[in-house]
């Protein structure tokens, strides 16, 4: 698969603080990448650096061969980067439908398709953003990013704070977006067991650098690297194909 997104020796952070240290990675068309690591190792800063809300010390970010490094966030979004921040950042004083249409761009993802992906949003389309549950707000944040018709979708802790049944529904939707719709996706997640079954490949960050990279399936089958780098107790269950982490 051709490379779609490339980070080349990127060094970035906030103010004078350097967080991302000479990090290089690539993402192919239709590929899904999990970004794992303990709290405070630079996972969110990595996504912030792709969308352009950090200070770039050196290195570059390329999308489909175009250097985005000097562009502000709104122009990176227009170039094809969709972003769902951990805070969701929906417009609370607008309705669900107004949220979805506010930043919509022409393309395959339309209001109808988003409502097909998230039927609950269609049911709540006249409700204000501040009237939604946490799970509904997350669906809305993902739907709004899709309405930008991006080439790459960035998801920052998409399951954080959600009830297990909502997590299952959201992960099923994300899997469909990746597998059936072919959306190139980067997912930041602290809890590996939630996301490895959805992604193709994973990186583990520590102190702003990649300390391990592997196919997601290999980490499911042999979670020793998760144990080593994430400080979890993990074991493989070959009969069920799950990761058990506590």
Same domain, 155 and 64: yes
Same domain, 92 and 132: yes
- Predicted model pTM: 0.91
Alpha-carbon dihedral sign for residues 158, 171, 198, 63 = negative
Residue 82: strand pairing partners: 153
Is 29 contained in some domain? yes
Q: CB–CB of 50/154 below 8 Å?
A: yes
DSSP β-ladder status, 3-14 and 17-28: antiparallel
Same domain, 161 and 145: no
Is 110 contained in some domain? yes
Read off the pLDDT of residues 166-203 as tens digits, 9 standing for 90 and up. 999 999 999 999 999 999 999 999 889 889 999 999 99
Whole-angstrom Cα distance, residue 231 to residue 121? Answer: 38
> Of 103 and 212, which is predicted with more confidence?
212
Same domain, 133 and 156: no
Question: Between the CA of residue 116 and those of 120, 123, 159, 166, 176, what are the distances in Å?
Answer: 9, 11, 20, 17, 12
Number of domains the chain contains: 2
Same domain, 61 and 46: yes
pLDDT band for position 103 (cuts 50, 70, 90)? confident
Read off the pLDDT of residues 18-64 as tens digits, 9 standing for 90 and up. 999 999 999 999 999 999 999 999 999 999 999 999 999 999 999 99
Is 133 contained in some domain? yes
Read off the pLDDT of residues 64-99 as tens digits, 9 standing for 90 and up. 999 999 999 999 999 999 999 999 899 999 999 999
The per-residue DSSP string of 3-70 comes to EEEEEEEEEEEETTEEEEEEEEEEEETT-EEEEE--TTSSHHHHHHHHHT-SEEEEEEEEETTEE-TT
Work out the average pLDDT over 196-225.
95
Nearest to 5 by CA among 74, 86, 79: 79
Work out the average pLDDT over 223-228.
92
Q: Which pLDDT score is estimated for 237?
A: 35
Read off the pLDDT of residues 139-161 as tens digits, 9 standing for 90 and up. 999 999 999 999 999 999 999 98
Is 199 contained in some domain? yes
Same domain, 44 and 155: yes
Residue 13: strand pairing partners: 18, 55
Same domain, 65 and 162: yes
Whole-angstrom Cα distance, residue 104 to residue 148? Answer: 5
Q: Which domain holds residue 53?
A: 3-80+151-166+182-220
The DSSP output letter for 238 is: T
Is 237 contained in some domain? no
Same domain, 112 and 139: yes
Same domain, 53 and 92: no
């Amino acid at each position: 698969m051709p490379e779609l997104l490339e980070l080349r020796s990127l060094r970035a952070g906030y103010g004078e603080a350097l967080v991302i240290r000479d990090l290089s990675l690539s993402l192919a068309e239709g590929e899904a990448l999990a970004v794992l690591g303990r709290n405070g190792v630079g996972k969110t800063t990595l996504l912030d650096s792709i969308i352009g809300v950090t200070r770039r010390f050196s290195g570059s970010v390329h999308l489909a061969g175009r250097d985005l490094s000097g562009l502000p966030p709104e122009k990176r979004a227009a170039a094809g980067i969709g972003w769902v921040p951990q805070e969701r950042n929906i417009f609370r004083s607008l309705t669900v439908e107004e949220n979805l249409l506010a930043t919509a761009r022409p393309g395959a993802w339309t209001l109808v398709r988003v409502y097909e992906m998230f039927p609950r949003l269609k049911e709540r389309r006249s409700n204000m953003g501040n009237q939604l549950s946490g799970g509904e707000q997350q669906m809305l944040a993902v739907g709004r990013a899709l309405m930008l018709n991006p080439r790459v979708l960035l998801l920052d802790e998409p399951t954080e704070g959600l009830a297990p049944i909502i997590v299952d529904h959201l992960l099923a939707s994300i899997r469909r977006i990746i597998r059936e719709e072919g959306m190139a996706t980067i997912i930041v997640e602290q809890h590996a067991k939630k996301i490895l079954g959805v992604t193709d490949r994973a990186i583990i960050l520590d102190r702003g650098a990649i300390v391990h990279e592997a196919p997601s399936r290999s980490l499911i089958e042999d979670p020793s690297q998760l144990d080593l780098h994430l400080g979890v107790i993990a074991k493989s269950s070959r009969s069920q194909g799950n990761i058990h982490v506590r």
